[in-house]
């Protein structure tokens, strides 16, 4: 099994205990943000993971930059929850949901590109939502992860029982597993609600009329 995974900031509480693989929208200070802030949480996660993996992207981490270390660091240091929430709130001010949440991959990309530009980081953000086979989408994920770039993913509809908790929801893809055995399934690693979750790629990326999944094609001008 080949596993390729980005450095993802581990979030710690005031006692120094690790409480998160990335962030959780449950950490927002009020109910509306906790209910609707998945897009902003993915935005904060993307900024933090880019800072930890891409040369010249450290400024994207905002209040987390010092804790993450290096540019990028050899090993990503733990980051305090309070600072991570500050970054989530910054993203929420830019990726502010409406009554139906924030189901807008293109709008998410434009907001992130603007944020990056204000931090002095040149970024591009297009939408990838058309593929003929799940293998094509998996290749897209692999290309980004291999380059140190996380993949924000919006799951709008999905027919698989395994995906029902992710409907109308943003997650952040942070890695993949590629089996040596052809009979085994490739898997996608995501950060969601501060957990490290894995999904079978043929299921998650299945091409079907009842599935609607969009990914943001991030590109960062590296030093």
CB burial class (10 A; 0-12, 13-18, 19+) of residue 63?
middle
Same-domain pairing of 90 and 154: no
Mark residue 65 as left, alpha or beta (left: phi above 0; alpha: psi -120 to 50; beta: remaining): alpha
| This prediction's pTM | 0.96
Q: Are residues 194 and 175 in the same domain?
A: yes
One domain for residues 21 and 115: yes
Q: What is the pLDDT of residues 142-173, one digit of tens each?
A: 999 999 999 999 999 999 999 999 999 999 99
Contact 28, 89 (CB under 8 A): yes
Please tell me whether residues 11 and 117 are part of one structural domain. yes
- Does the pLDDT of residue 92 top 80, yes or no? yes
**11 and 57 part of one domain:** yes
**Cβ contact 212:118 at 8 Å:** no
As a whole number, mean pLDDT of residues 65-86 equals: 89
- Do 58 and 135 lie in one domain? The reply is no
CB atoms within 10 A of CB 102: 23
pLDDT at 73: 81
The verdict on 185 and 198 lying in the same domain is: yes
Check residue 180 and give its pLDDT: 83
Range of the domain at 142: 126-220
Q: How confident is the model at residue 223 (pLDDT cuts 50, 70, 90)?
A: low
**Are residues 113 and 8 part of one domain?**
yes
CATH number at residue 174: 2.30.30
Condensed to tens digits (0 to 9), the pLDDT of residues 10-69 reads 999 999 999 999 999 999 999 999 999 999 999 999 999 999 999 999 999 999 999 998
- In the predicted model, is pLDDT for residue 75 greater than 80? no
**Cα(101)–Cα(197) distance, integer angstroms:** 23
Both 96 and 115 in a single domain? Answer: yes
């Amino acid at each position: 099994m080949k596993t390729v995974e980005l450095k993802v900031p581990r979030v710690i509480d005031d006692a120094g205990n690790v409480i998160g693989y990335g962030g959780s929208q449950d950490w927002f200070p009020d109910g509306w943000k906790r209910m609707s802030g998945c897009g902003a949480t993915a935005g904060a996660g993307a900024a933090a993971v880019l800072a930890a993996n891409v040369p010249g992207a450290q400024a994207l981490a905002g209040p987390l930059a010092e804790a993450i270390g290096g540019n990028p660091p050899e090993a990503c240091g733990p980051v305090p929850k309070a600072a991570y929430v500050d970054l989530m709130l910054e993203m929420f001010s830019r990726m502010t949901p409406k009554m139906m949440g924030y189901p807008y991959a293109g709008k998410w990309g434009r907001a992130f590109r603007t944020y990056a530009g204000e931090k002095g980081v040149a970024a591009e953000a297009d939408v990838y939502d058309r593929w003929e086979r799940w293998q094509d989408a998996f290749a897209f994920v692999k290309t980004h992860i291999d380059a140190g770039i996380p993949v924000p993913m919006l799951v709008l509809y999905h027919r698989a029982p395994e995906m029902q908790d992710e409907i109308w929801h943003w997650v952040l893809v942070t890695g993949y597993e590629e089996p040596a055995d052809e009979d085994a399934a490739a898997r996608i690693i995501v950060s969601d609600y501060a957990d490290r979750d894995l999904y079978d790629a043929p299921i998650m990326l299945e091409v079907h009329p009842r599935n609607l999944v969009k990914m943001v094609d991030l590109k960062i001008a590296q030093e």
